[in-house]
């Protein structure tokens, strides 16, 4: 079983992200592996353990994306590849999908490609399906369970209405949700291995593709309007009184 898991390095969810001079900025907040991708790594590792395989973790990004890769290596992935090229700076999800698909092809004989459901920076959530489309593979998104038998895979999708069971032939693309189960921590042995790993860097030339042109542009980036919140504690002698006072206030404020 040959598994690829794609991860992205993103600003920490605790970072304050603001628009500054038309650019997105998160100050000096630390970058971390996209939290959703940790579920994808967990799923990749569990599948590898159950079916005797290897997991290659792939990231497209700058030099700092190596940290996300090393985190995945420390969790137990076998090897890592960074795809980095100056021509990829302004790439959109469609371009990312072309690059990742090219990498998956170059790795060769991949059975399963795992993704997190979305990245917490761009929040587009479509890179997995776009990659599947470029590869011509089925996309099994929002996976909460994954069962492989021979060349068939059965997935329970966690969707708003409930659970949906779908199946497909491998190779296939998967995107993972939290229901899959908590990602493991890196082990100390994994940390030792990861901190020593030399991660190969592939350029567009290595992948044999041209820089994909972005079809989505970001013409304007602005901060959300400031919310003016005031807090008022509703007092009263009994829960009933408090509730009544609260209802009056809500009506007076025309919230309802």
Partner 1 sequence: MDFALTEEHRMVEKMVRNFAQKEVAPVIKEFDRKQEMAPFVLERMGELGILGICFPVRYGGQGMDYISLGLACEELEVVDTTLRVIMSVHVGLAGTTLLQWGTEEQKQKFLVPLARGEKIGCGAFTEPGAGSDVSNLRTHAKREGDSYVLNGEKMWISLATKADYAVVTVVTDPNAEKPSRRLSTFIVDLHSPGVTRGDIHGKLGVRAGSTGWINFQDVRVPAENMIGEEGEGFKVTMTAFDRGRYTVGAGATGIIRAALEASVRYANERTSFGQPISQHQLIQQKIARMAQDYEIARLLNLKVGWMLNQGLRNTLETSYAKKFATEASFKAADDAIQIHGAYGFSDEYDVERYLRNARGAIIYEGSSEIQTLIQAGYALGERKDKPLRCELPAYDADYWQAE
Of 51 and 192, which has the nearer Cβ to partner 1? Answer: 192
Q: Decide: is 117 part of the binding site for partner 1 (CB under 8 A).
A: no
Task: With H, G, I as helix, E, B as strand and everything else as coil, classify residue 250.
Answer: helix
- Residue 65 found at the interface with partner 1 (CB under 8 A): no
Could you tell me if 47 and 3 are in contact, meaning their C-beta atoms sit under 8 angstroms apart? yes
For partner 1, the closer of residues 70 and 157 by Cβ is 70
CB of 180 to partner 1, least distance (A): 16
In this complex, which beta carbon is closest to partner 1, that of residue 190 or of residue 212? 190
Q: How many residues bind partner 1 (CB under 8 A)?
A: 12
Note whether 223 binds partner 1 by CB under 8 A. no
The single residue among 89, 123, 136, 188 that binds partner 1, judged by CB under 8 A, is 188
50-55: which pairs have CB atoms within 8 A and are 24 or more residues apart?
50/148, 51/1, 51/148, 52/1, 53/1, 53/2, 53/3, 53/111, 54/1, 54/2, 54/3, 54/78, 54/79, 55/3, 55/4, 55/5
Q: CA 199 to CA 62: how far, in whole Å?
A: 13
Q: Does position 76 bind partner 1 by CB under 8 A? A: no
Residues that bind partner 1 (CB under 8 A): 70-71, 74, 185-189, 191-192, 194-195
């Amino acid at each position: 079983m040959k598994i690829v898991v794609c991860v992205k390095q993103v600003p920490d969810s605790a970072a304050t992200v603001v628009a500054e001079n038309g650019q997105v900025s998160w100050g000096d907040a630390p970058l971390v592996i996209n939290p959703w991708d940790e579920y994808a790594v967990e799923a990749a590792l569990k599948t590898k353990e159950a079916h005797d395989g290897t997991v290659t973790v792939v990231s497209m990004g700058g030099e700092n994306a190596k940290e996300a890769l090393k985190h995945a290596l420390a969790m137990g992935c076998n090897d890592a590849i960074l795809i980095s090229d100056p021509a990829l700076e302004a790439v959109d999800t469609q371009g990312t999908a072309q690059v990742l698909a090219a990498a998956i092809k170059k790795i060769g004989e991949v059975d399963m490609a795992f993704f997190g459901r979305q990245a917490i920076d761009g929040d587009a959530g479509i890179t997995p399906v776009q990659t599947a489309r470029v590869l011509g593979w089925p996309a099994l998104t929002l996976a909460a369970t994954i069962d492989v038998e021979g060349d068939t895979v059965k997935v329970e999708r966690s969707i708003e209405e409930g659970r949906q069971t779908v199946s497909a032939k491998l190779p296939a693309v998967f995107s993972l949700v939290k229901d899959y189960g908590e990602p493991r921590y890196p082990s100390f042995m994994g940390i030792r291995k990861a901190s020593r790993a030399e991660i190969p860097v592939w350029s567009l030339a290595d992948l044999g593709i041209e820089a994909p042109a972005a079809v989505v542009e970001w013409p304007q980036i602005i901060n959300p309007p400031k919310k003016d919140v005031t807090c008022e504690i509703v007092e009263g002698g009994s829960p009933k009184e408090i509730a009544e006072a609260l209802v009056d206030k809500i009506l007076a404020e025309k919230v309802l």
